[in-house]
Amino acid sequence: MKRDALFSKLKEFGLTTQKVYMDEAFSRNIGLLTEEEQEKLANAKVAIPGMGGVGGVHLITLIRTGVGKFHLADFDTYEPANINRQFGARVPDFGRPKLDVMVEQALSINPYLEINEFPEGINEANMDDFLGGVEVVLDGLDFFNFDTRRLLFNRAREKGTYVITAGPLGFSSAMLIFSPHEGMGFDEYFDIHDVMPDEEKYLSFATGLAPKATHIKYMDFSRVDFSSRAGPSSSIACQLCSAMAATEAVRILLKRKRIKSVPYYYQFDPYTQEYRKGYLFFGNRNPIQRAKMFYVKTFLLEKKKELFPMPPELPKVKVTEKTVPGDVVRYIIKAGIQAPSGDNAQPWKFSWQGNTISLYLNREADYSFFNIKQLASIISCGAAIENMRLAATAFGLEGRIAYLPDAKNDNLMASMELCVRGGKKDPLCNSIWNRHTNRKLYDKKPIPESILGHLASRVSDIPGAKLHLVTDESDLKKIAKMVYKVDRIRTEHRPLHEHLCKMIRFTDREAQEKRDGLPLKNLEAGLAGEVFLRMTRPWWVMNLVNTSGLGRMVALHSYQAILNSSAAALLTVRGMETQDFLRGGQALERVWLTMTQKGLSMQPMTAITLFWLRCQLEGDRAFSEDHRGLLQETFEEYQELFPDVNFHEEGQIMLFRMGRGGPIKQCTYRKDLEAFLRDEGKKDNEIWDTQNPF
Ligand SMILES: Cc1cc2nc3c(=O)[nH]c(=O)nc-3n(C[C@H](O)[C@H](O)[C@H](O)COP(=O)(O)O)c2cc1C
């Protein structure tokens, strides 16, 4: 409703002036506030940066308390993942700017409000305007928005403005008050230095915000994801934050007594039924705080960093102009590089010109027996395209894809034009940096039908792509037997064995230096398995082991892995052309990211599909007589299991297993962006034309 319409509505109730409305609307505050204080609040100006979980409720709470003037900032839009806690998040408003929605909500409560809007968010350039004439700031910034928070708090202190921060931690609220006149400043209290890695800044902020940390007793910290800058959050905590922060704001605005600024701290946790408050001598420089931070940094953060390297810093820009900044393009390409690829070969190259990114297939990266006609690499390129398309949405960009745009260059897989569209960020973006292959045994509990249905619908967004799910235990056993047979071939076929050994990084140093291939621990083979893999590196040893029958242990491991899964699935596409496999790779990445988002693990089991493709495209002459027999048996069972698939006309993208697996020991690495930039001076055939042995 527009303001005029709101005023007309008030008139219907006989509320014809601001004074008459204010007296009536806020009459029930009287007794806690006096009439004079109520008037003072109506003329008070409060700033709230961030209209999310806490910022949105801060605003509504203060309006209902009678505050009349606001400076509000937010550049984000609502998305489904906001529903659990953000005041303005409602289905009809998905994709709408948070600021617009909250201003509408605010005016519908008090149409006489004065609101200054900062739709670009707050930054160095507008900070003075944002703080102009403001008496109190209620911090509604995201936990991970550290640098902006630091700028805001320090500038507010210079300008004589109070800042209150209340953080929703678990089911609790932890609050600090920063006074411009007394106590400690932001940098001093949190012990912040200019050159500090992001994770240390977050750690300092979290430890200083809640020195007693009541929430750590019950919160699952494995769900805190630095990479996507997200963690567990609750509406209960957001409401508490507002109750605590707004009470202090009223105290400050009305110059009432007992304002206790940092190093005083407060945490109210209804879940543990505790109210903790105290005085933290020296802030984070307090020796106990230092010891806590040392422990977390040394034993927890370093371990996690080793497992999942931090994603690149998200450039803090929303692209509105015609030319997309280089930082944004680089970020989008890095998202592409994060895609999965057979043996982590990373078979791609990139270039960009203006707003268009080109993705090339790098044939040289993988000339293995498995990579028949480069199909596995083409699937990986498809996955990289999907990652880039998704990452672009984080900047309000739409990636318009042209497949195989140059008939004269069959290495050029696709070009993606980045167009300013201003739409919402795709929630799958967050999973790009923590999607991974999990080769552990999974728990066998069935996956809820609703999740399976969601996965299938994710795939069907790509025309012609289809997910064929296998959940029945006896069918899973059939797949396990098939995988056992083809995995036997894997160990008994010399080129396959030698290629796998070439791609395993047997030491940490080798893994970190080469930054491709499979770190030994990533294979989750256990100690005995690792010794086995090391010992059987030379073909003659493996051959000997095969002759004794011991080689089948590897295939047995794959058999067990399928049985210890909740489900398996075959992803297919309509045709068998390059473009179909690219689209298939996109569908694969989409379903893999969705599984990551839902906390599901997955492992590709591609020997069957890739052997099938080889036999179909090149015949079976590369296999021994024995192996041909095994393959024939397997293919017959395989076709029986998926009667809906037309194996001669539909492209098989991937067979995989899924379920809930424990955390993996070691992730794979990626080379730096520079390693993938195409040398524009050379022709493709000069760069990549080496002989394919297969
Ligand atoms: C086309 C393709 C085939 C793959 N085949 C297998 C496979 O047969 N077995 C397996 O364990 N992983 C397989 N993978 C997973 C890759 O090894 C993995 O994506 C790569 O090492 C990168 O690691 P990440 O997925 O953890 O990021 C395959 C991946 C792709 C894209």
What are the residue ranges of CATH 3.40.50.720 in the chain? Answer: 3-306
For a ligand 1 pocket test, name from 343, 482, 600, 612 the mutation site with the most ligand atoms within 8 angstroms of its C-beta: 343
Nearest atom (ligand 1) to Cα of 338: 27
The residues pairing with 137 across neighbouring beta strands, listed in sequence order, are 47, 163
Q: What is the largest CA-CA distance in the chain?
A: 96
Q: 343 CA distance to ligand 1 centroid (A)?
A: 6
- Specify the pLDDT at position 405: 95
pLDDT, position 511? 92
Give the predicted TM-score (pTM) of the model.
0.68
608 Cα–ligand 1 center, Å: 14
Kindly give the distance from the C-alpha atom of residue 501 to the centroid of ligand 1, in angstroms, as a whole number: 15
Q: What percent of the chain has pLDDT over 90?
A: 76
Output the CA 300–ligand 1 centroid distance in Å: 27
**Residue with CA at minimum distance from ligand 1 atom 24:** 436
The residue with greater pLDDT, 224 or 627, is 627
Between the CA of 537 and the centroid of ligand 1 the distance, in Å, is 20
Ligand 1 centroid to Cα of residue 341, in Å, is 5
Cα 343–chain centre separation: 23
| Measured distance CA(200)–CA(654) in Å, rounded | 40
Q: Whose CA is nearest to atom 2 of ligand 1?
A: 342
pLDDT class of 143 with cuts at 50, 70, 90 = confident
The mean per-residue pLDDT over the stretch 296-315 comes to: 67
**DSSP 3-state of 414:** strand
Q: ∠342-344-347 over CA atoms, to 5°?
A: 75
Q: Compute, in degrees rounded to 10, the torsion defined by CA atoms 583, 585, 588, 594.
A: -80
Q: Which of 96, 97, 266, 90 is nearest to 165 (CA)?
A: 266
Look at ligand 1, atom 19, and give the residue with the nearest C-alpha: 340
Instruction: Work out the pLDDT band at 658, boundaries 50, 70, 90.
Output: very high
442 C-alpha vs ligand 1 centroid, how far in Å?
A: 17
Whether the bond into 97 is cis, omega within 30 of 0 = no
Ligand 1 atom closest to 605 (CA): 8
pLDDT at 693 over 70: no
Q: Provide CATH 3.40.109.10 ranges for the chain.
A: 326-430+677-683
Ligand 1 — pocket residues by CB below 6 A? 340-344, 376, 379-380, 436-437, 439, 518, 603-607, 667-668
**What is the average pLDDT across 554-579?**
95
Which contiguous run of DSSP H or E holds residue 138?
A: strand 136-139
Ligand 1 center–CA 604 separation, angstroms: 6
Distance 365 CA to ligand 1 centre (A): 15
Q: Say yes or no to pLDDT of 637 above 90.
A: yes
Structure confidence at residue 690 (pLDDT) = 47
* pLDDT above 60: residue 688: no
Distance from the CA of 473 to the center of ligand 1, in angstroms? 24
| Atom 6, ligand 1: residue with shortest CA distance | 604
Model confidence at 530: pLDDT above 50: yes
CATH code for the structural domain at 326-430+677-683: 3.40.109.10
Residue 201 sits at the vertex; the CA angle it makes with 199 and 204, to the nearest 5 degrees, is 110
Cα separation, 455 vs 434, in Å, equals: 18
Task: Give the strand pairing for 348-353 and 442-443.
Answer: unpaired
3-state secondary structure labels for all residues of 540-565:
HHHHHHHHCCCCHHHHHHHHHHHHCC
689 pLDDT more than 50: no
Q: Does position 640 have pLDDT exceeding 70, yes or no?
A: yes
- Average pLDDT along the chain: 91
CA of 677 to the centre of ligand 1 (A): 23
Cα distances from 688 to residues 459, 500, 545, 677, in angstroms, run: 33, 22, 37, 13
What atom of ligand 1 comes closest to residue 340's alpha carbon? 19
Tell how far the Cα of 633 is from the centroid of ligand 1, in angstroms. 25
Of 369, 560, 589, 606, the residue with max ligand 1 atoms within 8 A of its CB, to mutate for a pocket test, comes to 606
CATH number of 3-306: 3.40.50.720
Residue 264 contacts residue 470 (beta carbons within 8 Å):
no
Which of 437, 500, 562, 667 has most ligand 1 atoms within 8 Å of its beta carbon, as the pocket-test mutant?
437
Q: What is the rounded average pLDDT of the residues 29-37?
A: 96
172-178 sheet: strands from edge to edge: 114-118, 69-73, 45-49, 136-139, 162-169, 172-178, 264-269, 274-279
Residue 107 in tokens: 């005016």
Residue type, 375: L
Q: For residues 191 and 7, what is the distance between their CA atoms, to the nearest angstrom?
A: 50
The residue whose CA is least distant from atom 4 of ligand 1 is 342
- For ligand 1, the distance from its centroid to the CA atom of residue 331, given in whole angstroms, is 23
Residue with the nearest Cα to atom 28 of ligand 1?
342
Q: Which atom of ligand 1 is nearest to the CA of 377?
A: 1
Atom of ligand 1 nearest to the CA of 376: 1
Looking from the CA of residue 667, the nearest atom of ligand 1 is 26
Nearest to 657 by CA among 571, 597, 569: 569
Q: Which stretch of 332-341, 586-595, 641-650, 675-684 has the lowest confidence by average pLDDT? A: 675-684
Confidence (pLDDT) at 300: 64
Atom number of ligand 1 nearest to Cα 522: 26
Strand 136-139 with 162-169, pairing: parallel
Work out the average pLDDT over 413-420.
Answer: 94
d(CA 571, CA 467): 5
Helix extents (H) in 619-679: 625-641
pLDDT bracket for residue 244 (50, 70, 90): very high
Name 358's bridge partners: 351, 415
**Confidence band, pLDDT 50/70/90 cuts, at residue 681:** low
**pLDDT, position 567:** 97
Q: What pLDDT, on the 0 to 100 scale, is given for residue 425? A: 82
| Ligand 1 centroid, distance to 663 Cα (angstroms) | 17
**What pLDDT band is residue 301 in, cutting at 50, 70 and 90?**
low
